[in-house]
Structure 1
Amino acid sequence: MKKIELGKTGEKISVVGQGTWGLQRGKSLKYYTEVKQCLHRGIELGMNHIDTAEAYGWGRAESLVGEVAKSYNRDDLFITSKLFPVHMTCKGMKKAAYKSLENLNLKYLDLYLVHWPNPLISVAKQMKVMEELVNEGNTRYIGVSNFSVNRIEAAQKALRNVELVNNQVRCNVLNQHHIRESLPYLRENGITLTAYSPLGHKGFRNVKGRLRESLELIAHNHKATIQQIALAWLINIDNVITIPKAFQIKHVEVNALAADIVLSSEEMDLLADNSIPG
């Protein structure tokens, strides 16, 4: 599995990871068993970056990731979780972080993100807590999710001795806003972009027009699926990694193969020009 550096940390992270958004509480044992099998298969294929959050199934996703993680050496996995920004006090934010560690049955996270900006909570307060979590050894790195460049700048200024290394945003061939608007700043400041929902809605099965034609043409040239080409387009962009969700093993395997696809500059430009299907 291809890896790139996370920010300026020296840490290498897989360009295709595994997302757990959409995992729900109250499902059958069979459902959870199948999800765990998918995560195990992904790890076997080098997709050792697993992304979760306290809000995913309200702790159930974290617990399930923890059940999978115990089968491996901790150093072989890179686990990200996210702070849901409803906690108004420093004490509440720390309590949420400790609860995530408890759910995951881990001593530390590799990366901890503020899930969404909340205008009711000062960025300075959030960053104070995030920096303390690093200093206490509860997370190795910190970042944000769904933050604009202006908000990232404010967060960076609030930090003293720790730097943000990641911004996780919704990004795919149909939604290229952050590639155009955020990525130049992120590159310049040593912040990696993680694309969530990299396969859009239903894996682009309903996409029509010029974008569909371009995806199918490039897929034909590479003997790949349009989903693999959509993933490959993102990870062929410098400083971008992805976390597709896959709750079927065949989809995990297809996602992993996308990491090996190298697109030409002409193919990259063709998809960049088709962000709005017509």
Structure 2
Amino acid sequence: MRLMRIGEPGHERPVLASPEGRHHDLSSVTADIDGAFLAALADDPGLVPEPERLPETDIAGHRIGPPVARPSALLCIGQNYAAHAAESGAAPPEQPILFYKSPNTIVGPYDDVLIPRGSKKTDWEVELAVVIGRRASYLDSPADAAAHIAGYAVSNDVSERAFQLEESGGQWSKGKSCATFNPLGPVLVTADEAGDPQGMRLRSYVNGEPRQDSGTADMIFGVAHLVHHLSQYLVLEPGDIINTGTPQGVALSGRFPYLGDGDVMELEISGLGGQRSVCRPA
């Protein structure tokens, strides 16, 4: 299934997108695509009827919101691609690096991204987002992870590098949690349809020029490993989101300029769609 939400912020409604490109109103099934719905869907995959049994809806002219509402946690993995670790000036990590972003950074896939006041180093990061569908705590092995994953989406872990590294006080979250710093979507593709999460291609562009082009096969720690690993330290709840790291090709490398007013970021992951954000001053 391809799940999405349309409408103005705080007033989105749930939609099912069919393979034929039609859109169907899910309001008769759930009030929103949130943790409670994803948990119910994990327990009953037949909860959502076949598309032909749902009323069609026209999404033209409507804002597309993030495909998941109100996650309790937005968890991020740092330096999870060796080449990105190298361009950041670090050795590949021996353990997954975990940091948090505020969940209220999440915006829609076509919403503007606000350059923070005083920022000179705002950066892009295309990432595969893993959405949790079933509560996960102390999983026995990575093989158990799949049963706890609802699906996947395109995520942009926007970062302010001076806030993250120069003014951090030792933690990264200052440079990660500015308003609008996590465009998500356009769709949540359920795990059964998305295919192998280690077989996806990630790409990003700024003002139409290529920046990142890599594959999830190059992750140091794969999706199943990450879900299992995190479950040993914290409880993953339905609707929680894990940003799994970004490949090389960001501005931090020194090869590209940082983002400014009017710059356009375009990100895509094979099978999950694409997003487009325009940078504006906060």
Into which bin does the TM-score normalised by the smaller protein fall?
A: under 0.3
Larger strand fraction of residues: 2
Larger helix fraction of residues: 1
Higher relative contact order (CA 8 A, sep 6+): 2
TM-score, normalized by length of structure 1?
A: 0.25
TM-score, normalized by length of structure 2?
A: 0.25
